Amino acid sequence: MRRLLLLFVLILSFVIAIFPQQETFVIKPKPDQETVLALTGFQMGDGNQDSMIDVYLETLNGVLKSDLENSGFFRLLSPSFFPQKGIKVPQQLDFTEWRDLNLKIDYIIFGNSKIINNNLIVECWVFDIKTGDKVLGKRYKTMPRYVRKVAHRISDAIVSILTANQSFGVASTQIVFERKSEVGKELYVMDYDGENVHKLTSNSNINLTPEWSPDNSEICFTSYIDKFPGIFFLNVLDGTIDKLNVMGDFLTTPTFSPDGKRIAFSGRLKGSDNPDIYICDLDGKNLVNITQNSGIDISPTFSPSGNQICFVSDRGGSPSLFITDIYGAAPEKIIDEGGYMSSPDWSPDGRFIAFSWRPRGENHFDIYIVEVATKRVFQLTKGQGDNENPSWSPDGRLIVFESNRDGSFDIFRMFADGTNVVKLTSFGGCHNPSWSNYNK
Amino acid sequence: MKKIFLFGLIFIFASYLFAGNKEHFVKIESSLMTLQNQVQMLQNSVVKSGTTSETLLKQIIDTLSKITITLNEVVSSKEDQSKNINENFDEIAGDIADLNHKISNINARLSKVEHGLAEIKGLILSMKMHKPTEGTGVDGKPLPLSPDKLYAMAYNDYLQGNYELAIQGFLDYLSKYGDTEYADNAQYYIGDSLFNQKRYNDAIEAFNKVVTNYPNGDKAPAAILKSGLAYMELSDTKSAIEMFKKVVKKYPKSAEAKIALQQLEILGVVKK
């Protein structure tokens, strides 16, 4: 009997030991599968006309290093190992010196920058150390104030080519979010690294729940411009705002369909007493209610195919995630456990849905992802205040969210396995971040 | 054998790749990614359950032939491109370097796939040599993937919009586990995949099977509603109305009955 018990314990511990490994979902490659880069840094190019170039060089080098590290694809070799420094052009590159090193270096990145006639000129090359092949050669000419942008572009080009388009790089993407103002909330946008923050709305009202159009030209959001919540479109280029032409005294949490032609939102329309999920064209036509029931239905998110919608409903008691198709057929609850679930966001590859959840008996919200086909749930944040409103990066490798772990709510970013958490804002009162699509 | 033949073809065409263009590469790359995933799944299924899936093997062969077709296109476009080669020497030099890099990338990944397939072959061979174990049938043939896994794989394809793969997967599931709890779901998702492919007549036929084969399953109301929507797409309003009325009458408490009623209101059959 005792032996049996021992065997049982052994099996159980084996199962426990094995299962977490299967259950974790890891973003970064294993050390032996890593691509190793030698980023030798940009040098001052010949014929430079402005001493400010030192500042730009520092920015270029710093931003590119941080972008490549944050992509999660590469390991950057420490500069102390570099046999050659100050490579400006390919002619100066001596492959034998790099190959002689007993280090696993896959690619070398170098280049130069100069200011000519008030233009910033940046040249960048990537070479394969083993084969000696040129992998990338790019030249940029722009105004010096766009120096960060150039570094982001270079990073995206490197990520695209070295990952064979698994990712097109997210360094040029942006994040929109709501920030508390003296009288309400305004929408702000920033680069993916938290830099370059600027205000998008200035209507001294309450502006909430922004979401990008697939081509990043528009942002749909909830606003109290008409004294009650309605849905509006902001043209990102010229700042103009249009109202969605649907009548109702409570319209909120809009989201674009993946083809950008339709919009899904939660609304309490005439004749109904509780919010349902609606889908309509951008001009308000072809309006259909896909969740006709007595509960509150809110926060829709499209699957990447555009044929499914996940949303939050309290029809079964506490707010939980449901999936239905865009006609409202075959609604299904995804997670049977209780607690409070909110703000789902479907991953770009369709496999996962990220959401925030306060499980029954817990005091805090955390970020979780659920694998839709298997219904396996992975917890990404833990023991750090409330963590809410997740949004996927367009390559599905990162998640942006809000957290009050440092006091007031600010915007944070992490790998989609919960590692490498980076704080992006320090204003306080920041909510509902939404990651843009690729900027091509 | 067919696989080896296809690999041969791919390597021959790979040598022509430097003349290819970006579109083709994106196609090849995405096919390669699919291929790698499929081989991975196949490997997992072989390792874990000691069995192999005919559907997966078929899918792998399909993907391989897609790559071959794209490579063929690359070869034929080579001639067109050579006419314009006098322009922009620098850019072309850069592009060729980029392409060469991509080729070596593709080659590396292809050899990984080849390696994976060789491993699978080895595993299958060694399984054949061993006596039948608990996981195998009386004739020594390996039993297929676990029902849950097979279902999840097909459903994942359905969610990702890979409807052809989803249909194959669900058909595979139904042929082996036609009497399980999820069989009606599988039949429904076959119908819905066809619906999303705009193959409305086939979809109606598949939805009909949900209702006749699994009348008490929870997908029956959705199947009738979606046949109605398929008839609408085919401009057969009469049949569509019939279906919407059927949902309301047969499953009055279902979510689909309310959607059907909304459709009947839009069509002016019932008043708000």
The tens digit of pLDDT for each residue in A198-208 reads 999 999 999 99
pLDDT tens for residues B39-65?
666 666 655 555 556 666 666 766 776
CATH number, domain A174-435: 2.120.10.30
Domain ranges of chain A: 31-162, 174-435
Is residue B28 pLDDT above 90, yes or no?
Answer: no
By C-alpha distance, which of A403, A429, A432 is closest to A183? A429
Using the beta-carbon criterion (under 8 Å), do A164 and B105 form an inter-chain contact?
A: yes
Alpha-carbon distance A122 to A127, whole Å?
17
More confident residue, A107 or B121: A107
Mean pLDDT (whole number) for B130-140:
43
Beta bridge partners of A191: A174
CATH number, domain B147-266: 1.25.40.10
Contact list in A for residue B258 (CB cut-off 8 A) is 292-293, 328
Give per-residue burial for B211-250: e unless 16+ CB within 10 Å, then b. Answer: beebeebebbbbbbbbbbbbbbeeebeeebbebbbbbbee
Report the complex ipTM: 0.81
Using the beta-carbon criterion (under 8 Å), do B222 and A330 form an inter-chain contact?
A: yes
Is residue A214 pLDDT above 90, yes or no?
Answer: yes
Percentage with pLDDT > 90 across chain B = 38
Alpha-carbon distance B187 to B154, whole Å?
12
More confident residue, B29 or A439: A439
Domain ranges of chain B: 2-129, 147-266
Give per-residue burial for A39-69: e unless 16+ CB within 10 Å, then b. Answer: bbbbbbbeebeeeebeebbebbbebbbbbbb
* Chain B nearest C-alpha distance from A294 (Å): 11
Give the model's pLDDT for residue B17: 42
Contact list in B for residue A128 (CB cut-off 8 A) is 101, 104
pLDDT tens for residues A162-176?
998 889 999 999 999
pLDDT tens for residues A284-296?
999 999 998 889 9
Selected residue of A135, A270, A332, A370 to mutate for chain B interface (largest B Cβ count, 10 A): A135
Give the model's pLDDT for residue A355: 98
Which residues of A have a CB under 8 Å from any CB of B?
A: 128, 131, 133-137, 161, 164-166, 271, 288-293, 303-308, 324-325, 327-331, 349-351, 372-374
Q: Does residue A250 contact residue A269 with C-beta atoms inside 8 Å?
A: no
- How big is chain B, counted in residues? 272
Give the model's pLDDT for residue A14: 44
Mean pLDDT (whole number) for A111-129:
95
Q: What are phi and psi of B167, to 5 degrees?
A: -60, -45
- Same topology for domains A31-162 and A174-435, yes or no? no
B227 in helix, strand or coil? helix
**CATH top-level class for A31-162?**
alpha beta
Residue found under tokens 């805090």: A364
In the structure encoding, which two tokens stand for residue A13, read together?
A: 């511990």
* Chain A nearest C-alpha distance from B139 (Å): 32
A209 in helix, strand or coil? strand
* Chain B nearest C-alpha distance from A161 (Å): 8
pLDDT tens for residues A16-66?
443 333 345 677 777 677 899 999 999 999 999 999 999 999 999 999 999
